[in-house]
A and B are shown apart, each in its own frame.
Chain A
């Protein structure tokens, strides 16, 4: 199975909102509500920021939100801050035995 498709990069100015897409198929993103998003700063481990498409773990800012329509999931970051500059990865289960990640999106805060 192929990795999920994400844009290589997105950018925005402080205070703006940006959206990162994650496109799969009906066998993964479209077939299950098990989409997660991770934030990774350079040289650091990934951090879970969204799970089950739109749920935030405790302690994650409500500026982060997730949604899904058909085979595409989306992560929206509102009120962009400099600290949001990082790589973002989506993941989705594809059946009961496999998990796929997206290729990652580099967010630049201008």
Chain B
């Protein structure tokens, strides 16, 4: 069974940093692009970032570019999101999501983890 489990969320002050992790199991992690998607409380989904299977390709939403860094460790089947200069508007549940197909990240995300809550507040 394919499983994704996020961790690392919590309360952080504005301007602070946090690193999220997503542990993957049940599939060949190294051949799939992986994504982070967030959802502010009571709001809709917002795509945050994607990393290709080969780690050389990374893309970011304009709202996090320059502050967030996506990475992966294929030897540990783990995806990361390093978040810096955090703002109140970054408060959200952060989901990791696997690309449905190994050849591209464009054909849907399946499955998603259960998410980890990040709260940015003083």
Contact = CB atoms under 8 A, between A and B. Distances in A.
Interface stretch (B21-29, B43-51, B84-92): B43-51
B45 A38 contact: yes
A44 to B, nearest CB: 8
A51 B109 CA distance: 9
A89 B94 CA distance: 16
A38 B44 CA distance: 11
A36 B47 contact: no
Contacts of A36: 107-109
Nearest to A57: B110
B44 A102 contact: yes
Contact of B47 (A44, A45, A57, A101): A101
B63 to A, nearest CB: 11
Contacts of B47: 91, 98-101
Given A45-B95, A98-B59, A101-B44, A93 B112 contact: no
Contact of B44 (A34, A50, A57, A103): A103
Interface string A34-58: 1010101000111110111000010
A34 B107 contact: yes
A3 interface: yes
The 5 tightest CB contacts between A and B, nearest first, are A51-B108, A45-B112, A48-B110, A104-B44, A36-B108
16 contacts: A1-B62, A36-B108, A38-B109, A46-B109, A47-B112, A48-B109, A51-B100, A57-B110, A89-B44, A98-B61, A99-B106, A101-B44, A101-B46, A101-B47, A102-B44, A103-B44
Interface of A: 1, 3, 32, 34, 36, 38, 40, 44-48, 50-52, 57, 89, 91, 93, 97-104
Interface of B: 37, 44-47, 50, 59, 61-62, 95, 97, 100, 106-115
